[in-house]
Structure 1
Amino acid sequence: MIDPSLSTPFLVASAVPVDAAHRSGTLDAARALLASQPALAEHSVYAAAVTGNAAAVRQWLQQNATLATTSGGPHHWDPLTWCCFSRWLRDDPSRHAEFVEVARVLLEAGAPANTGFVDHTHGETPQRESALYGAAGVAFCAPLTALLLAHGADPNDEEVPYHAAEEYAHEVVAALLAAPVPLTRDSLATMLLRAADWHDDTGVRLLLQHGVHPDHPGRWPHSPFLQAVRRDNEARIVERMLDAGADPLRRFGDANALETAAWHGRTDLLQRFAERGVPLPDDGLAAVAVDATLGDLHAVRARLSRDAMVREAFLARAAAFACRAAGNGMLAPLGVLLQLLPTVDVRWGEGDGYWDIAPHSTPLHVAAWRAQHAVVQQLIEAGADVHACDGRGRTPLQRAVAACVASFWMNRRQPTSVRALLEAGASAEGIALPTGYDAIDALFERGGMG
Structure 2
Amino acid sequence: MKIQHYITGALIIGLGMQGISCSSQRNLGKAKLGLDKEFVRSNLEDAHKQIAYLAASIGESDMPTTYKEGNYVNWGSSWWCSGFYPGTVLYLYEYTKDEKLLTEAKSKLKQLEKEKYNKGTHDLGFMLYCSFGNALRLTGDSASYKEILSTGAASLATRFHETTKTIRSWDGGKNWDGQPWTYPVIIDNMMNLEFLTEVSKMTGDQRYRDIAVQHANTTMVSHYRKDYSSYHVVDYNPKDGSIISRKTAQGAFDESAWARGQSWGLYGYTMMYRETGDKKYLEQARHIAQFYLNHPNLPKDLIPYWDMDQNKLTPDSKYYSQKELRDVSTASVTASALLELAQYTTGSESQLYISKAEQMLRSLSAKPYKADFKESGGYILKHSVGSIPHKTEVDVPLTYADYYYVEALVRYDRLLRGEKVIKP
Q: Which has the larger radius of gyration?
A: 1
Greater per-residue strand proportion: 2
